[in-house]
């Protein structure tokens, strides 16, 4: 069975993006290349039983067995030792990727308490959209009664787009609830006001 979103991309999304973003060639239309899911282990990285439960949880969420990532350097402030277990990583492509996005957008994200949307500032210039999830229990595959600890996830959606606006347009077609980040604009306005005040003082002085 072909995933629902894969069919939707081929039949609907490609055409929609071609008209919205003025693409003339079908092969130039941006697409989602892969989804990377990370789970940090923290102090639990040295405990075998804890790692096993984390592997079970992330495997259930993504439908794929994770790779254990390790620290490349020893950092005393973070109490990390070179070669020690840092976290778990899963890279999803093709059918599993589309199935995960479907569950993420339509089931998991709406279950977040007081969820208002994903900020557009999470998108970089290289077509990557990254965001964090504080509680992995929002996924329906996780049984809340059997969870020993609530863990966070970092999700990065890698696209073929090289333009931030095109990446956001693509993800919105997949029903990602992306909103404008007003906090950054407020910070910029505050900086401008401070600069203006400094200029006024120098002129008076």
What gap in Å lies between CA 118 and CA 100, rounded to an integer? 17
The region of weakest confidence among 9-18, 67-76, 110-119 is: 67-76
Q: What is the largest CA-CA distance in the chain?
A: 75
What's the alpha-carbon Rg for the chain, to the nearest Å?
21
Gap between the Cα atoms of 186 and 198, Å rounded: 19
Question: Which helix (H) or strand (E) element contains residue 36?
Answer: strand 32-40
DSSP letters, 133-146, are ES-GGGSTTS-GGG
Q: Indicate whether 179 pLDDT > 80.
A: yes
Angle between the N-to-C axes of helices 48-62 and 94-103, in degrees from 0 to 180, rounded to the nearest 10: 90
Where do the domains of the chain lie? 4-180
Residue with tokens 């072909």: 2
Q: What pTM does this model have? A: 0.81
Distances, alpha carbon 97 to alpha carbons 51, 123, 155, in Å: 24, 19, 12
For residue 189, the model assigns a pLDDT of 52
The pLDDT of 23-47, averaged and rounded, is 86
Q: Tokens at residue 19, please?
A: 């008209």
Which pLDDT score is estimated for 114? Answer: 86
Q: List pLDDT tens digits, range 100-133.
A: 999 999 999 999 988 889 999 999 888 899 999 9
Fold adopted by 4-180: 50s Ribosomal Protein L5; Chain: A, (3.30.1440)
Classify the phi-psi angles of 84: left when phi > 0, otherwise alpha if psi is within -120 to 50, otherwise beta.
Answer: beta
């Amino acid at each position: 069975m072909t995933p629902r979103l894969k069919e939707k991309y081929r039949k609907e999304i490609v055409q929609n993006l071609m008209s919205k973003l003025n693409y003339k060639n079908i092969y130039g239309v941006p697409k989602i290349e892969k989804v990377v899911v990370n789970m940090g282990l923290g102090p639990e990285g040295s405990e075998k039983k804890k790692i096993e439960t984390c592997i079970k949880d992330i495997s259930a969420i993504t439908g794929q067995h994770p790779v254990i990532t390790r620290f490349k350097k020893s950092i005393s402030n973070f109490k990390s030792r070179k070669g020690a277990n840092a976290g778990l990583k899963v890279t999803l492509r093709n059918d599993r990727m589309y199935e995960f996005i479907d569950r993420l957008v339509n089931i998991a994200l709406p279950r977040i308490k007081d969820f208002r949307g994903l900020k557009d500032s999470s998108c970089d210039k290289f077509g990557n959209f990254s965001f964090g999830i504080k509680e992995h229990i929002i996924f329906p595959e996780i049984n809340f009664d059997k969870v020993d600890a609530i863990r966070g996830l970092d999700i990065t959606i890698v696209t073929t787009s090289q333009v931030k606006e095109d990446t956001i347009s693509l993800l919105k077609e997949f029903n990602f609830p992306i909103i404008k980040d007003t906090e950054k604009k407020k910070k910029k306005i505050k900086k401008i006001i401070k600069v203006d005040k400094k200029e006024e003082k120098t002129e008076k002085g």
